[in-house]
Amino acid sequence: MEEATAWLHTKIAALNNTRQKLTGKTANELLAQERTALLVLPTRLLCSDQIQLRVDKYATVSYKTNRYSVPDHLVGEFVQVKIMSHQLWFYHNDHKVATHHRSYNLHDWIIKIDHYLDTFKRKPGALAGSMALASSRYLKALYEAYFMGESRNFIELLDYCQEHAITDEKLEQAVTQLTGSPVKELTTEKIKALLGNKQDHQQPLKWTQTTAMAKSQLQQLSTLIN
């Protein structure tokens, strides 16, 4: 699919840059002229179909034989689905609740573990053998390597990552850093502490302002002493 998409974009680009017989200009050049007379769209124009689907007891909706997960509190509710060539967007009460890459396979289960955290908080014992955990190779390997028998701690870590928009890649970097250090035991608190420190380092502005204020106060004090 990726190769076909790349080939299509190449062909479209070639056609749009081909000079036309009547005008001697390319489609891109003609469009540039037309833009001066076109209104600006308030939002991006998307080509999509829209349907309404009911969320089943597994917190998934079925489309074209494939199942896509949504947050588990929506079981039994209807969601609006915006269907595009590569993605599906799911809405409930005009709020986007999930986004998935569209699968063109048959009988796929496209699952995000974040959608089941509320259930796992109530039933932590269901985590280990769940399809939601198996849907992420890295998270499953992390759980089996360091959190077997400690489902509540692992769920707490997943909840923290969801709340702070921490990707699997950032989580893996933090775990790798900790396991490569003298730390004897990998725990949720240690991972959260390291991730929290990294987030603070991404906000140097606050530190800069504090430093500037401290320097100003020190200068005022030194003036008084002199």
pLDDT higher than 50, residue 201:
no
- Kindly state whether residues 54 and 75 are assigned to the same domain: yes
**pLDDT confidence band for 226 (50 / 70 / 90):** very low
Reported as a single tens digit per residue, the pLDDT across 59-80 is: 999 999 999 999 999 999 999 9
- Kindly state whether residues 187 and 138 are assigned to the same domain: yes
- Kindly state whether residues 124 and 99 are assigned to the same domain: no
Q: CA–CA separation, 83 vs 53, rounded Å?
A: 12
Position 54 in a domain: yes
- Kindly state whether residues 134 and 188 are assigned to the same domain: yes
pLDDT over 90 percentage in the chain = 69
Could you say which of 80, 110, 140 is where a domain stops? 110
- Structure-model confidence comparison of residues 107 and 198, the more confident one: 107
Reported as a single tens digit per residue, the pLDDT across 140-190 is: 999 999 999 899 999 999 999 999 999 999 999 999 998 888 877 889 999
pLDDT higher than 90, residue 112:
yes
Reported as a single tens digit per residue, the pLDDT across 6-37 is: 999 999 999 999 998 888 999 999 999 998 89
How many structural domains does the chain have? 3
Position 120 in a domain: yes
pLDDT at 216: 66
Position 208 in a domain: no
- Kindly state whether residues 191 and 118 are assigned to the same domain: yes
pLDDT at 209: 60
What pTM was estimated for this model as a whole?
Answer: 0.70
Position 211 in a domain: no
SS (H, E, C) the chain: CHHHHHHHHHHHHHHHCCCCCCCCCCHHHHHHHHHCCCCCCCCCCCCCEEEEEECCCCCEEEECCEEEECCHHHCCCEEEEEECCCEEEEEECCEEEEEEECCCCCCCEECCHHHHHHHHHHCHHHCCCCHHHHCCHHHHHHHHHHCCCCHHHHHHHHHHHHHCCCCHHHHHHHHHHHHCCCCCCCCHHHHHHHHHHHHHHCCHHHHHHHHHHHHHHHHHHHHHHC
pLDDT at 206: 46
- Kindly state whether residues 137 and 176 are assigned to the same domain: yes
**pLDDT confidence band for 215 (50 / 70 / 90):** low
User: Which residue is associated with the tokens 């430093």?
Assistant: 211
Could you say which of 70, 92, 110 is where a domain stops? 110
| Residue ranges making up the domain that contains 197 | 114-201
Position 215 in a domain: no
Position 210 in a domain: no
What does the longest C-alpha to C-alpha distance in the chain come to? 84
pLDDT at 79: 97
pLDDT at 94: 92
For the segment 45-67, the average pLDDT, to the nearest whole number, is 94
- Kindly state whether residues 121 and 196 are assigned to the same domain: yes
pLDDT at 203: 46
- Kindly state whether residues 140 and 121 are assigned to the same domain: yes
Position 156 in a domain: yes
**pLDDT confidence band for 52 (50 / 70 / 90):** very high
**Average model confidence (pLDDT) across the chain:** 87
